[in-house]
Structure 1
Amino acid sequence: MDSPGHEEVASFLFDQLGSLGFIAFRDQFFDQRTFTNILGIMNIDAPSFLLLTCHYDSKFLKNSPDYVGATDGAVSCAILLHMARVLHEYLREQFSRKEDIGLMLVFFDGHESMLDVKEDINSLNGSRHFAAIETMPLRSIELIISLNLIGAPDHIFLSHFSNTYILHERLADIEAELRKAGQLTECHKLFHKVKDHDSDIEDDHYPFISVIALHIVPHTYPEYWHTEKDNLANLYWPAIRNMNLIFPQFVYEYLENRIEFLSRIDKYG
């Protein structure tokens, strides 16, 4: 944050959203320092929205000036943009004619604490701001999907909330179907139909306590989390390629069959 690289990423995200047909916004606010959430929205007048989120800021490490946060933010941003590119024709054509559902992508700033790793507090500034002032009315968000810490080797993804287990199951089924069809890169299984509902980690969905959440985050932290080795050279590309096939398919299915999905979600689970 507050660096030329940070502003360059923000501008890149803003421009990409615009080029993909989203109405793009910069939501700038001050909380000890200036933060800027980057928002993209389709079907702005819809009464309900699917909210897809990740964070684009990276941790400042005093002893690691070249830290980039590859798994801790960058890959998730790329997955959301890739999803929008893959579904571009669908979103601009069939989806744009829907009157009951909109889509918003939010790249949060201020996710990382401004303090040392051992004092990892004062975080989630962007998502806390979004929820507190209701940048979008929370009652209009029918589901938030938050992505983080994706791209390290050997990571698996479990269900973190009982009321969205049905959605997690569908992610696992899509992966199995794509693998059977020979469309996936050779890689370990990512999504497991395992209920691990007591071990979620704090992330940008936390301030949205009244919104149903699906958290796509690995079961354990990446080995190089908050170290200079969290970089391009240490990403595990087979998992990223497969996620880039699974996630767009899931988003498409949700937007086309959301009433069925919502009817099967236990909001009180």
Structure 2
Amino acid sequence: MMLPLLLHRGLLRPLLSTWLAFVLLFSATTAYESVSDETLRSLPRPGKDFDIHDGALLAPILVPRVSGTAGSTAVLNHLADFIRTTLPDWTIQFQNSTSKTPVSKGKEIPFVNLIASRDPPGTSPGDVGRLTLVAHYDSKYEPQGFIGAIDSAAPCAIIMHTMRSIDSAMTKKWEDMRATGQLNQLEEQQGIQVIFMDGEEAFKEWTASDSLYGARSLAEQWDAEVHPAMSVYRSPLDSISLFVLLDLLGAKEPTIQSFFPTTHWAYKKLATLERRLRELKQLQSSDPGRSWFPHLAKSEHEIPLYMRIEDDHIPFLRRGVEVLHIIDAGDRGFPKVWHTMQDDGEHLDLDTVEDWSVLFTAFAAEWMELEGFMDASQIHKRSVTDAWHKTEFLQL
């Protein structure tokens, strides 16, 4: 990612699409129900799965994983294996592209995005809006051996924990809806998808062509794909209800700003959950009196509009997708370890990483309206550490 970016301009979608987005966002904000304190107290913890040496979720990502290298393939397989063995009801797809880079000497480098989704049973893809959680899994080309723990191994592990934590609750909710004849009601067609993005980092120097390789390819492809006639959503791009990008998370005492007026309501929902979890003494990190979200008390008219951070959301934002960018970028800039060799597992604040995983689980559970269906005891029984069996490497 790059700071600062540009003025926010040229990002308006056509009038009809803007109107539709407003209607959908209005519906989301008015129908959005908070989860209870009881649910917040029962949210599962990652435990040993976030151990930087042998944790089943995080440790395999803490390696150099430059796009097109064996390290990248190993991490991609780690992510895919986790979904296949732990979340069998999720659909996996890979989006492939190639591109020359400033260091590839004319050779085409492969970029592979992993997309995993879960929709209500019996629904058509074009009729389901999806909460979309995103993080990039590649690491920088230079300095050689760069790990990128906050950038972005920890965000990937946080998303993996979130997926696992809400999976059985979604099953229970949809089974309950099926039993009561509610499953096919239009307003209930809400799914979730995760994108592990490749090629975010620049190989040499951040430019429009040397950065965001995977994001640029995926946004272009999804914008061009068209769902069948009479679908609720025109394309996979339009099916994204909210694009939540996680980046540079894992340093102590993060500062998360709100960047976009149209998604400030979602920022406030996440910030409110953080405050509630802290009041309930469910978070382990930081000063109890300090919020990670300094714009919680501001309205959408009061957040700063003069600056943007260039990251994987940009190709989607330019096509009208609603974005919530969760990146540690306070008044002092990015975390001190950013793009240095110190951005490794040893410099993660694991209490903060764990708290992020609990917070995003709460956010996803609230978005998916899983109140009354979360059961932490069942999730703990499905520990990745105990149940994981590696499968064969993907043929890329």
TM-score normalised by length of structure 1: 0.87
Q: Which has the higher strand share?
A: 1
- Identify the residue that residue 211 of structure 2 maps to in structure 1: 123
Letter in 2 for 1:204: D
- Work out which of the residue numbers 130, 133, 137 in structure 1 matches 2:221: 133
Q: Distance in 2 between matches of 1:74 and 1:137?
A: 26
User: CA shift at 1:41, angstroms?
Assistant: 1.1
How far 1:186 sits from its partner (Å)?
3.7
- 1:191, CA displacement in angstroms? 2.1
The answer to whether 1:66 aligns with 2:159 is: no
Percent of pairs with identical residues: 30
How many residue pairs match? The answer is 252
Provide the residue aligned with 2:325 in structure 1: 215
Give the aligned residue type for 2:112.
Answer: T
1:105 maps onto 2:194 in alignment: yes
Q: TM-score, normalised by structure 2?
A: 0.60
Partner of 1:178: 277
For residues 183-202 of structure 1, the C-alpha deviation after alignment (integer angstroms, 9 at most, x for no partner) is 11141432221534433311
Q: Hey, what does 1:199 align to over in structure 2?
A: 307
Are the counterparts in 2 of residues 14 and 39 from structure 1 also a CA contact under 8 Å? no
Report the equivalent of 1:264.
Answer: none
Say which one has the larger Rg: 2
Aligned letter for 1:50? L
The answer as to whether partners of 2:131 and 2:191 remain within 8 angstroms in 1 is yes
Secondary structure of the corresponding residue to residue 238 of structure 2: helix
- 1:142-189 Cα distance to aligned partner (Å, 9 max, x none): 211111011112321121111111111111111111111111114143
- Give the corresponding residue for 2:259: 160
Q: Which is worse superposed, 104-113 or 83-92?
A: 83-92
> Superposition RMSD on alpha carbons, in Å?
1.9
* Cα distance in structure 2, aligned partners of 1:240 and 1:249: 14
In the other structure, the counterpart of 1:94 is 173
Distance 1:204 1:95, change over 3 A: farther
2:252 and 2:286 in contact (8 A); partners too: no
Q: Which runs of 5+ in 1 are unaligned?
A: 258-269
- 1: distance between equivalents of 2:284 and 2:304? 26
Q: Secondary structure at the match of 1:129?
A: helix
Residue 138 of structure 2 is matched in structure 1 by 57
Alignment-derived partner of residue 190 in structure 1: 292
Return the offset for 1:231: 0.2
1:9 alignment counterpart: 75
2:353 to 240, 246, 268: 240
Q: Secondary structure at the match of 1:156?
A: coil
Stretches of structure 2 lacking an aligned partner (at least 5 in a row): 1-66, 101-108, 178-182, 226-234, 371-396
Q: CA deviation at 1:130?
A: 0.8
Larger displacement relative to structure 2 (217-226 or 143-152): 217-226
2:126 is the counterpart of 1:40: no
How far, CA to CA, are the matches of 1:133 and 1:75 in structure 2? 28
2:257 maps to a residue whose letter is L
